[in-house]
Amino acid sequence: MKNTHKILYIVIMVVIFASCKNDPIMFDSSKTFVAFTTASTSVAENENSLNVPVMVAGLPGSPAVTVSFEVRTEGIANPAIEGTDFTVVSGGSVEFPDGAGIANINIHPIDNDLFDGNKSFQLVITSNSKNYPNGAESAITVTLKDNEHPLAKWIGTYIVTAVSYGSPGAWDETWLVTTEPDENDVNKLIISGIGAEGSDPIKATLDLEEMSISLAPGQLIGDVYTFGTIAVYKGTDAGDDIILDEPLLGVIHEDGTINIDLWGHLITDGQYSGQLWDVFNTTWTKQ
């Protein structure tokens, strides 16, 4: 019985294999489409240029094709104005002489000395010379990031040296942290990367008059050590406990450096819920 099943299985596999060899999957021109490679992208307004890729998914050697596009700002809360905030160096179309591949729409941001927030616009594919259908991404949103943000000195990437109170030297940690502006509050930064890459973001408030930074207690950064979800609190001077109802305070410097002492990590769930992971004295060096 087992041998019969085995022989039958071999026959079936041979038939399937032969069928696959004789009937390969082919790409033909009817499957050609035009699309952007992503739905959104961004560039700082003080950068020189941004290339936005457009794709014609087809067979190399097909007839040359021209893809036309236009700028739109309908429905965008803070629209970027062509000629004032940016220019489209590529004009209103891109060429594909080989009939397939990727070509770039070149955007040139125009810097200004004002803080007017991040601005956006859309590039929309309107037509192509061969009437190919559009793919899923027929439009792309381009965001121009304002480099005059009041917290610009403290926006970016940091190497954070976290010196342990529990065992200095042995339990020290190093974090690669990014800070981004909070679109809803110009006095706040969104911080990611605490403890480990991919940590949940938390928020900090910066006071430029006092040159201080503060974080509300109990913000969660996720299970960054695989022992349970970590909450950030102010630690005690002894480094062996946390304070539940006080903000975590630090100092910001003109060169972008940040110092936050008594940075405490408390495990909030699982087997070790309620246990202190550690308290750190942190120095943030901007990259």
Alpha-carbon span 62 to 28, nearest angstrom: 10
Residues 58 and 179 in one domain: no
Q: What DSSP string describes 60-119?
A: TTSPPEEEEEEEE-TT-SSBPPBTTTEEETTTTEEEETTSSEEEEEEEEE---SS----E
* 145, 173, 200 - which closes a domain: 145
CATH number of the domain that residue 158 is part of: 2.40.128
Residues 130 and 243 in one domain: no
Residues 89 and 168 in one domain: no
- The residue range of the domain holding 106 is 31-145
Residues 137 and 261 in one domain: no
Residue pLDDT, tens place only, 9-61: 333 343 344 444 444 444 566 789 999 999 999 999 999 999 999 999 999 89
Residues 111 and 231 in one domain: no
Distances in Å between the Cα of 281 and the Cα atoms of 68, 166, 253 are 55, 11, 16
Q: Could you list the mean pLDDT of each consecutive 10-residue stretch along the chain, which spans 287 residues?
A: 36 42 53 96 95 95 96 97 96 96 97 91 98 97 93 96 97 97 93 95 98 98 97 96 97 98 98 98 98
List all residues 6 or more positions away from 66 whose beta carbon is below 8 Å from its beta carbon.
93, 94, 95, 96, 128, 129
Q: What is residue 12's predicted lDDT score, i.e. its pLDDT?
A: 38
Alpha-carbon span 36 to 285, nearest angstrom: 37
Residues 60 and 125 in one domain: yes
Residues 126 and 86 in one domain: yes
Q: What is residue 26's predicted lDDT score, i.e. its pLDDT?
A: 47
Q: Is 4 among the domain residues?
A: no
Q: What is residue 13's predicted lDDT score, i.e. its pLDDT?
A: 44
Residue pLDDT, tens place only, 109-131: 999 988 888 999 999 999 999 99
* 118, 145, 172 - which closes a domain: 145
Residues 138 and 200 in one domain: no
How many domains, the chain?
A: 2
* 112, 145, 178 - which closes a domain: 145
Q: Which two tokens stand for residue 22?
A: 């004789």
Distances in Å between the Cα of 227 and the Cα atoms of 167, 244, 272 are 19, 20, 7
Q: Could you tell me which of 214, 278, 220 has the C-alpha nearest to residue 246?
A: 214
Q: Is 22 among the domain residues?
A: no
CATH number of the domain that residue 128 is part of: 2.60.40.2030
Alpha-carbon span 154 to 137, nearest angstrom: 34
Residues 208 and 224 in one domain: yes
Residues 113 and 186 in one domain: no
Residues 164 and 280 in one domain: yes
Residues 62 and 169 in one domain: no
Q: Is 8 among the domain residues?
A: no
Q: Is 112 among the domain residues?
A: yes
